[in-house]
Amino acid sequence: MATPASIDMIERLIGFDTTSRESNLELISYVREYLAGLGVESMLVHNAEGTKANLYATVGDQDKPGIMLSGHTDVVPVDGQPWDTDPFKVVEKDGKLYGRGTSDMKSFIAITLAKLPEFQARGLETPLHLAFSYDEEIGCIGVRTLIAKFADMPIKPAMCIVGEPTSMQVITGHKGKRSYQVRVRGFEAHSSLAPRGVNAIEFAARLIAKLRDIAERIQDEGPHDELYDVTHTTVHTGVISGGTQLNIVPLDCRFEFEFRYIGDQDPDALETEIRDYAANELEPAMKAIHPDAGITIDCVNHMPGLDMNANDEVVTFVKSLAGRNDHAKVAFGTEAGLFQTRAGIPTVVCGPGSIDQAHKPNEFITLEQVSAAETFLDRLMDRVCEA
Ligand SMILES: [Zn+2]
């Protein structure tokens, strides 16, 4: 059964409107004070404006590498969503707790906090590290400044569990993502003199067709990873704009594309192939007409993927906590890829609630999932505590 302590903490954390565009500092200072009350010191890593912060804290011996429990404190907006209740006030109904962030992912943070006094009472032999971030929902931005701090830390966490909603399934991988903005600069001319201009839209179309060719080649030839629903890397163009009116050869065309790659795909090689095509196949023809014409490709976000070996210690350890032997890979991105690739910390994703409820109106977590997370942490206690 879900304990009142967990439910009470979930209610408190949901009560802070930490939509990514807002400050998360009220929530962070609440957590910091709660931890201080347990004798645990917190380190805050703020954003440049000082309006948001990551919180990092170690419970137990500071001189030993321990187990990091990680989550993001921000939530997606509720704007325009038809909620039946106040999204920032937990409502319990039919065995479910409703509220923005109940699944994604304040409940994991709350249940962890609620359990800490028990961990302490039983005496931590292996420490717990808590890492609570901001701005996850807008591209895993916040946690990067925290990860940069790990480089200076004498003791790094030995492993990490990211408590995103997986219905307590153990997730060993998710795809990485790179997103790009492309600007194609043409050269204007009256459309009756089209060959004297450089048509930015047409060259953009060639590059987009090339992206499509690459996507189809990867689909046919792989690499494939059968643990994913879509078993291969995907390449996709999502936005385009360009041109002024029909009788002008367009000067400008902009579009955005992304690829979401599996662990066996080298994202640098893919990016190089795309850049080489633009530079060697398209730009010479453009510049032959006008030297100012050309193509600029900017990477605007890179979220590394997670790809843990199923035999890694963190995988078997977390399976034992979750009481199951299976593992899976998921379509959605998390901070786990950054912890693995940028901080070198073996990481899996495992947390209460379902991704099916995330980001939707009337988001909820079942009390059964709250209870499952408590059991998970009880098993962790058995492993890391003295008594
Ligand atoms: Zn999330």
Dihedral (CA of 69, 74, 78, 84) sign: positive
Ligand 1 centroid to residue 164 C-alpha, Å: 5
CA distance 45 to 56: 8
Neighbours of ion ligand 1 (CB under 5 A): 104-105, 164
pLDDT at 50: 96
pLDDT at 135: 96
Whole-number CA gyration radius for the chain: 24
Ligand 1 centroid to residue 248 C-alpha, Å: 46
The answer on pLDDT for 1 being more than 90 is no
Ligand 1 centroid to residue 76 C-alpha, Å: 9
Ligand 1 centroid to residue 358 C-alpha, Å: 8
Ligand 1 centroid to residue 232 C-alpha, Å: 23
pLDDT at 387: 77
By the 8 A CB rule, do 288 and 129 touch? Answer: no
Residue 236 — very low, low, confident or very high, per pLDDT cuts 50/70/90?
very high
pLDDT, tens digit (0-9, with 9 covering 90-100), for 43-100: 999 999 999 999 999 999 999 999 999 999 999 999 999 999 999 999 999 999 999 9
Residues in contact with 97: Cβ distance below 8 Å, sequence separation at least 6, in sequence order: 7, 10, 90, 91, 107, 364, 365, 366, 367, 370
The answer on pLDDT for 154 being more than 90 is no
Ligand 1 centroid to residue 190 C-alpha, Å: 50
One-letter amino acid at 167 equals S
Average pLDDT over residues 313-340: 96
Token pair of 308, please?
């843990």
pLDDT at 319: 98
Ligand 1 centroid to residue 85 C-alpha, Å: 21
The answer on pLDDT for 328 being more than 90 is yes
Ligand 1 centroid to residue 107 C-alpha, Å: 11
Ligand 1 centroid to residue 266 C-alpha, Å: 26
Dihedrals phi, psi of 277, to nearest 5 degrees: -60, -45
pLDDT at 152: 86
CA distance 2 to 366: 9
Residues in contact with 38: Cβ distance below 8 Å, sequence separation at least 6, in sequence order: 59, 116, 117, 120
pLDDT, tens digit (0-9, with 9 covering 90-100), for 184-208: 999 999 999 999 999 999 999 999 9
